[in-house]
Chain A
Amino acid sequence: MAPILEVKGLRKEFKGFALKNISFTLERGYIMGFIGPNGAGKSTTIKLIMNLLKRDGGEIKVFGLDNIKHEKEIKNRIGFVFDENYFYEELTVAEMKRVIAPLYKNWDDGAFNRYLKKFSLPPDKKIKELSKGMKMKFSLAVALSHNAELLIMDEPTSGLDPIIRSELLDILTSVIQDENKGVFFSTHITSDLDKIADYITFINDGRIIFSCPKDDIFEKYALVRGPKEILNAGLRQYFVGIKENRFGFEGLVKDKHQLNKMFKDGIVIDKPSLDDIMLYFTRRVQNV
């Protein structure tokens, strides 16, 4: 079966920023976290997948179909949640549903009503009167009410309180119980991904740094601390980024096994968080 989402050599140029040949693949049954600092190209990539931006080169296939040639069919099978509300604020929840529902071939009114109840969303309330969390829940209710096979989410947790974020993550975990579905989820709150993501794709300055299973990342990468005396040019080459102070250094290495072989003593090797990885890749070298 074709991957649920496949991006190959995707290019897009803007004045002062470019996506440079980015590639990654998401198989059915998995959640992929798409991480990177602000301005790295996450939203641009998502907009290209949704054909809101025109690509300059490369290929995007969703359900094995080209995202432009089969745009309507693909969008019938995609649920989207964006970082801010794009629904008509002047309409009530019920009115907005009335406009959107007939556009989907597989709209399920029963499922939508169940989500309204579950999320305590009042159908007669105008969308502008909903809180940010409630607006996100409404987006999610729409995304989950037409039997979408792929959920595409652009920073859905940004600006939400921890309780709503946790609820969202629980919902995504239950969605993925159906092994035919997939979730592509961009965020810079990497702790969310520690809990639910199977794959992590890291983008920085328009380039994919890595796209691999989350467990592989923690298997390879390590946070290393040690005294300044041992930090010579030979050692430095193993680091993605280093922070130094008067007493010692802390840095991120790509291959902790190699470093383990070289230094039996004198250094401390820790498991990095996704935040650490993002930080070291973004800043590279920082003297403290």
Chain B
Amino acid sequence: MFNLILKDILIQKKTFLFGAVYIMIIILSFQQIGSPMVPASIIALTYVMTQYACAYDDKNKADILLNSLPLGRDTVVAARYLSTFVFLAIAVVYYIVLAGIISVLRLPVRVYPVSFEDIAGCLFSSIVMTSIYFPVFFKVGYIKSRMVNFVLFYGLFFVGGMLVPELVKDKNSELAKWTTRLFSNQWDVHIIAGAFIITILFLSTSYMLSLKFYRNREF
């Protein structure tokens, strides 16, 4: 399994070079919005790396190679899910390094530190995104799954783009009050445990579906 994750990293050397550029673009475009630049940068880079890994597999018709090697289909599917967490960790490091450089050089660009809540939020969003996307990817392949992919990515940014200015503009709105209530309770053990269980259930169901679809695929 480690080898497949290594492969996902090795084939994306170019993406790693451009990663800094992607994050810089997001930092600059979120100057007016503020701290959401942190999750936006991390999620966007995780998303891009996950998509490229899938796209490179498709381009190289990798399913034929992978399924001719002494590997179970469960390993191929599990490695794809685990790669996402590795990409997330890489994206966090990228953001921290880039934000650090900007702060040290005192560039006229605002950056925000990465908090535990940011990482938890990014982890949750990435799990939701991949848990919806991967079963479709394993069922129909990369090309046919691009529409779901498009809706997920732009949906996330569209919803985020609508909600965040709303929250910032009117702090007395129902949405803002609900969000404040939610986040003021963020350390409530029950909420964290509940969210954790829901996420794990969501992820497990997605994995089982992906595995079922992939086991039935023909190449």
Partner of B7, one of A82, A86, A99, A104: A99
8 Å CB contact of A54 from B3, B70, B218: B218
- Using A50-B67, A52-B218 as known contacts, say yes or no to A86 and B72 having CB atoms under 8 A apart: no
Additional pairs, 19, CB under 8 Å, beyond known A88-B56, A100-B3, A103-B70: A50-B67, A50-B68, A51-B67, A52-B67, A71-B72, A75-B71, A80-B68, A86-B62, A86-B64, A90-B56, A91-B7, A91-B11, A95-B10, A98-B3, A98-B6, A99-B3, A99-B4, A103-B69, A103-B71
Closest residue of chain B to A72 (Cβ to Cβ) is B70
Q: How many contacts between A and B, using CB within 8 angstroms?
A: 72
A52 near B64 with CB under 8 A, answer yes
**A89 touching B60 in the complex, CB below 8 Å, given contacts A52-B219, A104-B70:** yes
- Is B61 close to A, CB under 8 A? yes
A72 to B216 CA separation, bound complex (whole angstroms): 17
- Closest chain B CB from A16 CB (angstroms): 16
In this complex, how many residues of chain B approach chain A with their Cβ under 8 Å: the count is 25
**B13 — which chain A residues lie within 8 A by C-beta?**
90
Please report A residues at the B interface, Cβ cutoff 8 Å: 47, 50-54, 71-73, 75-76, 80, 82, 86-91, 95, 98-100, 102-105
A143, chain B: closest CB distance, angstroms: 10
CA distance A49 to B122 in the complex (A): 43
Could you tell me the distance between the alpha carbons of A54 and B73 in the complex, rounded to whole angstroms?
Answer: 14
Contacts of B10 in A (CB 8 A): 88, 90-91, 95, 98-99
Give Cα A155–Cα B91 distance, bound, in whole angstroms. Answer: 43
What are the 4 tightest A-B residue pairs by CB atom distance, in nearest-first order?
Answer: A75-B70, A86-B65, A76-B70, A52-B219
User: How near does chain A come to B5, taking the closest CB pair, in angstroms?
Assistant: 10
Does the CB pair B67–A86 fall under 8 Å?
no
* Least CB distance, A265 to chain B, in whole angstroms: 56
When C-beta atoms are compared, the residue in chain B nearest to A80 turns out to be B68
Nearest CB to that of A152 among chain B residues? B68
B residues in contact with A72, CB < 8 Å: 70-72
In Å, the complex CA distance between A95 and B7 comes to 8
Contact bitstring B1-32, A, C-beta under 8 A = 1, else 0: 01110110011010000000000000000000
Q: Check B70–A99 contact: CB distance below 8 A.
A: no
**Are B56 and A100 in contact, with the CB atoms below 8 A?**
no
Contact of B69 among A47, A53, A75, A82 (CB under 8 A): A75
